[in-house]
Structure 1
Amino acid sequence: MRAQYNPISPLESNSFKAEYQVREKFDTPWHYHSEFELTLILSSNGVRYVGNHFEDFCEHDLVLLGPNLPHCWTTIGPQSVPARAIVIQWKEDFLGKDWINCKEFQIFKHLFKLSQEGVRFDEPVALKLKEKFIKLVDLQPLNKLTSLLEILQELSFSTHFQTLCDPDFKYKLNHMDNERLRTVFQFVDRHFSKKVTLKELSEMVYMTEESFSRFFSKVMNKPFFFFLNEYRINMACNLLLETDRPVSDICYEVGYESFPFFYRQFKKFKNCTPQKFRKQYLTFKSS
């Protein structure tokens, strides 16, 4: 998937940009920009890509991204309501040169360092800050800035978060490599439930199988088939939680031809069996 460079252009009178987004679905291509970004998903679910990391997202997904970190949210499947989010973006110097070194703002330093890998905050954190996000969009400029700083302070103090992509992930690719990744990611999104071969993929990106394998492993810090199995197990988890279909049906639905192999891959990525994964969710939901 090619990460497109999307420059952000806030109004000249504003030090940052905050907007309420409503769409039929989230389908913005994998992209990056020089601003920090703080996103709160209000509705929709699908897959979120950040650097070389991906996972499901749903309502109350709260993520902080550092500058030039490729990302996108992709809605998957039918949705009962429009996709909605509040997105806040600001430049590194939005409060002036070296503002982060002022004593008053030292608490943000560690948070901003973590944002280079992408930070997802747990749902209770998102719920606590949700009303503040919603109100921020319509505040007067000075109150809006104060509200943003208050949100960043809350996030700086929080210990309930996970970093996303690998610390050594570096996005420095030329145009051709960008196009290759874009092609591969889009292909997996559309065809993960079918048989996928290196021959087919390597021909699509005009590489030999060996060259493609080296390329993907180097850029994503994981072999292609590790990525593919990770993606398929992620899709299997969705079906386990959202349907009561037999595990064997789900196995074949997400592209596996062998149930024992699916079982091993599921335990590898989730540290439990598919049945236990579903049971744990149902127990949690009923409580």
Structure 2
Amino acid sequence: MRPFLEKLPVIPDASWSWLDRRLDEGLPFEWHHHPEFELTLTMNSRGQRFIGDHVGEYGDGDLVLIGPNLPHTWASRERIDAARPHHALVMWFSREWVSDLSGRFAEFGAVAELAERAAAGLAFSADVAGRVRPRVRALFKAQPAERFLLLVRVLLMLGEDGAAQRLSQTAPPREDERDDRDDRERIDRVLLHIHTHYAAGIRNDRLAELAALSPSGLHRMFRKHARTSISDYVMRLRVGDACARLSGSGQAIGHIADAVGYNSLANFNRQFKALRGMTPRQYRAMFAEGRP
């Protein structure tokens, strides 16, 4: 599977793009990025989402905003209603679109603030996502001018969500800090391999081979783009996967540790607590007791 720079659909007479995606077979793991912001509402589907170094569970009504060039994908597990397809409503808009909107109209400054917060991905609270959902569905059926106004209204509502959660611990550099396409393709090959194999083990010599760089060149490139080391990035992926399993299943903690790539339960417990501020058992107890 090759990483790719996704080419978005061009919509005639529109300043932004959208897609009504319905899949019977499920949302596939397609690790990709693009220079636009992406707002995605997922319905009738359960599975995992991968956004930067974040791994988390998603369900019906999941609503996320992803910043430019932040690698991401979804991988569905099941349909909630087996008679209906997995359904994703996807909206894309550029950084320039946000700048023009907020620069020309002071009333829309909150949209620019939301965009800055979304650089590392934002997952919106269930309450706000529920209130926004009918507006998102309505804009896909509206006429062009009304569709634009509905999108702006949705973004303004999302900007008021103080409970929105940052997803990735790292974010890509801004466009003017980035190197050429060859450099982007190198880091994409490395990230795809890490996201595909983090539970089975990551060898740095294999990553250097994929990047066509020396080991020292690989580490410099990775830290520049991911803003962290390879080992820390892999640790965050493993712990993120463990969080999804702890909150969404009754699997034994030792089994989860092994499934996400830890040979030592003690090491898993230590790294989990370092990132989450609590043990895996305490993290699971929060969900068992019905707390966020």
Question: 1-side partners of 2:15 and 2:277: how far apart?
Answer: 45
- In the other structure, the counterpart of 2:173 is 169
Q: Does the Cα contact within 8 Å between 1:44 and 1:79 map onto a contact in 2?
A: yes
Q: Does the Cα contact within 8 Å between 2:38 and 2:66 map onto a contact in 1?
A: yes
1:157 aligns with 2:160: yes
Question: 1-side partners of 2:117 and 2:277: how far apart?
Answer: 26
Question: 1-side partners of 2:97 and 2:202: how far apart?
Answer: 46
- In the other structure, the counterpart of 2:11 is 10
CA deviation profile, 1:227-251 (whole Å, cap 9, x unmatched): 1111111122222233322211221
1:231 aligns with 2:234: no
Q: Does the Cα contact within 8 Å between 1:3 and 1:178 map onto a contact in 2?
A: no
- In the other structure, the counterpart of 2:90 is 87
Question: 2-side partners of 1:183 and 1:112: how far apart?
Answer: 27
Secondary structure of the 1:284 match is coil
Question: 2-side partners of 1:74 and 1:197: how far apart?
Answer: 25
Q: Which amino acid aligns with 1:196?
A: I
Residue 99 of structure 1, CA deviation = 6.6
- In the other structure, the counterpart of 2:136 is 133
Distance change >3 Å, CA 245–CA 101, structure 1 → 2: same
Distance change >3 Å, CA 90–CA 206, structure 1 → 2: closer
Question: 1-side partners of 2:212 and 2:102: how far apart?
Answer: 47
- Choose 16-25 or 212-221, whichever is displaced more: 16-25
- In the other structure, the counterpart of 2:190 is 184
- In the other structure, the counterpart of 2:31 is 29
Question: 2-side partners of 1:93 and 1:276: how far apart?
Answer: 44
Residue 168 of structure 1, CA deviation = 7.5
Q: Which amino acid aligns with 2:21?
A: Q
Q: Which amino acid aligns with 2:165?
A: Q
Percent identity (aligned) = 21
Written as runs of structure 1 = structure 2, the 5 A alignment for 1:16-95 is 16-23=16-23, 24-33=26-35, 35-42=36-43, 43-50=45-52, 53-59=53-59, 60-66=61-67, 68-75=68-75, 78-80=77-79, 82-91=85-94
Question: 2-side partners of 1:91 and 1:157: how far apart?
Answer: 21
> How many correspondences in the alignment?
280
Residue 6 of structure 1, CA deviation = 2.1
Distance change >3 Å, CA 201–CA 254, structure 1 → 2: same
Gap regions ≥5 residues in structure 1: none
Q: Which amino acid aligns with 1:284?
A: G
Residue 88 of structure 1, CA deviation = 2.0
- In the other structure, the counterpart of 1:284 is 290
Q: Select which of 254, 260, 273 maps to 1:254.
A: 260
Residue 32 of structure 1, CA deviation = 0.8
Gap regions ≥5 residues in structure 2: none
Secondary structure of the 1:45 match is strand
Question: 2-side partners of 1:56 and 1:164: how far apart?
Answer: 9
Secondary structure of the 1:154 match is helix
Secondary structure of the 2:78 match is coil
Q: Which amino acid aligns with 1:74?
A: W
- Choose 101-110 or 189-198, whichever is displaced more: 101-110
- Choose 176-185 or 101-110, whichever is displaced more: 101-110
CA deviation profile, 1:57-102 (whole Å, cap 9, x unmatched): 5133322345x433422315x3235432111234566699667422
1:110 aligns with 2:123: no
Secondary structure of the 1:256 match is coil
